[in-house]
């Protein structure tokens, strides 16, 4: 920790909340610029909607969602239409404030007219989403899964998934939503931060009982009931890869703005927390992505009324220590440079151990928190005590490290998913015309240059029509956007404009073919132009 500011360059920078350090010129940072914004409920829902428009079947793991307040009329109209078509459909919806977490401000409704329009919603945008009424139950309780995913690199895309995760349980037996039980949060919401306040919450020393368990313990149970656990894992892997493919275009725009290509800068990696719900038929559903998942390995316990203490949580420890250990192992900067077998990651761990053992000696009266942290670092290095922690300069033997918990899924399975990366290519066009580095929005001149260089304007589509398209779409997106800092066309607006152009040009094709054809045309014309300029 550097409470008074950092002096020396580091190999790995571990920020607490988000990417915020623009003075780093080398090394690796554990956060991507713009990740917090990209995974907010509204932005994620928009990115998923774009993918659902292009690939409806591939992206049906994300519940149908509408953005409030601007899509309220659309929400009302679509629900009415679906009810007219199928009068026996009795849906439930969940309203989630944008930027909220830990179940904050969430409520369930049966009818669009139940949306609370007074007060909070106008000042606080939200997402309203189809509620999954038939979740898989274990011990009659609803639960969700927190899986840790390492986005190791954006370009080229590298994704790892932790083999184990956490299952967080509700504390009231589940019943399908009715007007009577809609408000019962301990029955419908799986958030740890809410259920901890229920009298039924069980802290367990074991990883397969209680209100928080390992996901592997659930899989064991499902497997003993005869469930196809292999298929479930493959569905989860595909959900994770598809979700990240939906997020990469936006992330790339932020990346080039904060870390321009060709200039010295750090590289980034990030541990993400995926919240997944299993339906009764074992289909995984994405609830949300967390940019800053909690890495706490202790929980608060009330020793006597009003007296709380932090005590170790074996389930959290089991899952989270392995995630951090493997992340350090994978991003170890020395690994690439050195060919010999000794893993210098161990030196990082040793450094932690030494740092904490010294601190421990200085503070004779050490706090529980400190010893917990020490235990954490020792566990990272697989040693049992401070005495076993290596001395300065010494290295732990490679064999002491447990087998990796992070499994590479991309590029390993890239060939099954590459066809989904269409918006990535649209984002590449967008970035190319952004012009001045450091911006995330396209000005009118940049848009005109894009149209001209790709030769998209003709007698049916004049440059005046191009300007009108730019103004219409940009104005609408800026009126509903959260980011008013910069003027111009954001990536999502450009994607909408691009889809419009594709539909105009290739009328009879399905949307993804229209978009793919226009991308190919643009890439081809830009390559020809570039070639001509070189000559």
52 or 256, CB closer to ligand ADP?
Answer: 52
Residue for token digits 């927190």?
Answer: 146
3-state secondary structure of 353: helix
- Report the nearest approach of ligand ADP to the CB of residue 260 (Å): 33
Nearer to ligand ADP, 212 or 373 (CB): 212
Least distance to ligand ADP, CB of residue 423, Å = 23
Q: Are 16 and 256 in contact (CB under 8 A)?
A: no
In angstroms, rounded to a whole number, what is the distance separating the alpha carbons of residues 207 and 130? 32
Q: Classify burial at 389, counting beta carbons within 10 Å of its beta carbon; exposed 0-12, middle 13-18, buried 19 or more.
A: buried
Rg (CA), the chain: 25
Residue pair 267/153 in contact (Cβ under 8 Å)? The answer is yes
Measured from the CB of residue 99, what is the shortest distance to ligand ADP in angstroms? 9
Closer to ligand ADP by Cβ: residue 101 or 137: 101
- Is the separation of the CB atoms in 436 and 443 below 8 Å? no
SS3 273: strand
Minimal distance, residue 190 CB to ligand ADP, in Å: 3
Smallest distance, ligand ADP to C-beta of residue 85, A: 21
Query: CB of 182: closest distance to ligand ADP in angstroms?
Result: 12
Crossing angle between the packed helical segments 422-432 and 491-505, to the nearest 10 degrees: 110
Nearer Cβ to ligand ADP, position 147 or 383? 147
91 or 314, CB closer to ligand ADP? Answer: 91
- Closer of 106 and 147 to ligand ADP (Cβ): 106
The residue count of the chain comes to 535
Nearer to ligand ADP, 293 or 446 (CB): 293
Distance (Å, rounded) from C-alpha 187 to C-alpha 142?
7
Give whichever of 65 and 256 is closer to ligand ADP, judged by the CB atom: 65
Secondary structure (DSSP) of 133-153: -SB-EETTEEEEEEEEEEEEE
Please give the residue ranges that form the binding site for ligand ADP (CB under 6 A): 63, 94, 96, 100-104, 106, 129, 131-132, 144, 189-191, 275, 277, 287-288
Kindly tell me which of 127 and 431 has the beta carbon lying closer to ligand ADP. Answer: 127
Q: Which pair of tokens denotes residue 454? A: 């790709």
Minimum Å distance from CB 163 to ligand ADP?
22
Residues 406 and 330: beta-carbon distance below 8 Å: yes
Closest CB to ligand ADP among 101 and 526? Answer: 101
- Shortest separation between residue 132's beta carbon and ligand ADP, angstroms: 4
Shortest distance in whole angstroms from residue 15 CB to ligand ADP:
21
Contacts 24+ apart (CB under 8 A), 192-196: 192/168, 193/102, 193/103, 194/102, 194/103, 195/168, 195/169, 195/170, 195/171, 196/299
Query: Nearest distance from residue 215's CB to ligand ADP, in Å?
Result: 14
- The 10 Å Cβ neighbour count of residue 480 is 12
d(CA 356, CA 361): 9
């Amino acid at each position: 920790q550097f409470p008074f500011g950092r002096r020396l360059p580091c190999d790995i920078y571990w920020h607490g909340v988000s990417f915020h350090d623009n003075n780093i010129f080398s090394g690796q940072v554990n956060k991507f610029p713009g990740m917090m914004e990209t995974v907010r409920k509204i932005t994620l829902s928009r990115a998923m909607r774009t993918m659902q428009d292009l690939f409806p079947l591939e992206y049906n793991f994300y519940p149908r969602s509408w953005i409030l307040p601007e899509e309220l009329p659309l929400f009302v109209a679509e629900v009415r239409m679906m009810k007219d078509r199928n009068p026996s459909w009795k849906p439930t919806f969940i309203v989630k404030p944008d930027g909220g977490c830990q179940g904050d401000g969430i409520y369930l409704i049966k009818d669009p007219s139940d949306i609370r329009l007074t007060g909070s919603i106008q000042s606080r945008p939200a997402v309203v989403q189809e509620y999954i009424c038939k979740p898989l139950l274990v011990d009659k309780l609803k639960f969700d899964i927190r899986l840790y995913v390492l986005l190791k690199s954006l370009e080229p895309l590298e994704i790892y998934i932790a083999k184990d995760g956490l299952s967080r349980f509700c504390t009231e037996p589940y019943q399908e939503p009715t007007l009577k039980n809609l408000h019962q949060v301990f029955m419908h919401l799986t958030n740890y931060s809410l259920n901890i306040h229920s009298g039924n919450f069980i802290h367990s020393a074991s990883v397969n009982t209680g209100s928080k368990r390992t996901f592997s313990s659930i899989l064991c149970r499902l497997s003993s009931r005869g469930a196809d656990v292999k298929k479930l894992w493959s569905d989860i892997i595909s959900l994770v890869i598809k979700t990240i493919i939906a997020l990469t275009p936006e992330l790339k725009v932020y990346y080039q703005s904060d870390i321009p290509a060709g200039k010295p800068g750090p590289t980034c990696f990030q541990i993400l927390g995926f919240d997944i719900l299993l339906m009764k038929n074992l289909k995984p559903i994405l609830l949300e992505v967390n940019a800053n998942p909690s890495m706490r390995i202790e929980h608060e316990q009330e020793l006597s009324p009003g007296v709380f203490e932090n005590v170790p949580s074996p389930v959290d420890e089991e899952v989270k220590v392995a995630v951090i250990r493997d992340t350090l192992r994978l991003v170890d900067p020395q690994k690439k440079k050195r060919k010999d077998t000794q893993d210098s990651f161990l030196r990082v761990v040793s450094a932690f151990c030494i740092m904490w053992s010294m601190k421990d000696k200085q503070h004779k009266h050490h706090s529980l928190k400190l010893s917990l942290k020490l235990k954490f670092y020792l566990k990272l290095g697989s040693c049992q005590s401070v005495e076993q922690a290596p001395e300065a300069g010494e290295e732990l033997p490679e064999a002491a490290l447990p087998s990796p918990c992070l499994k590479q899924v991309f590029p390993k399975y890239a060939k099954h998913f590459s066809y989904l990366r269409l918006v990535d290519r649209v984002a590449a066009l967008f970035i190319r015309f952004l012009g001045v580095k450091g911006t995330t929005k396209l000005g009118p001149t940049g848009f005109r240059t894009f149209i001209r260089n790709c030769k998209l304007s003709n007698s049916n589509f004049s440059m005046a029509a191009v300007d009108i398209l730019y103004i219409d779409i940009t104005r609408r997106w800026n009126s509903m956007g959260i980011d008013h800092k910069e003027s111009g066309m954001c990536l999502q607006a450009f994607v909408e404009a691009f889809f419009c152009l594709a539909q105009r040009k290739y009328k009879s094709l399905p949307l993804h073919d229209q978009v793919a054809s226009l991308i190919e045309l643009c890439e081809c014309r830009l390559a020809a132009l570039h070639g001509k300029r070189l000559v």
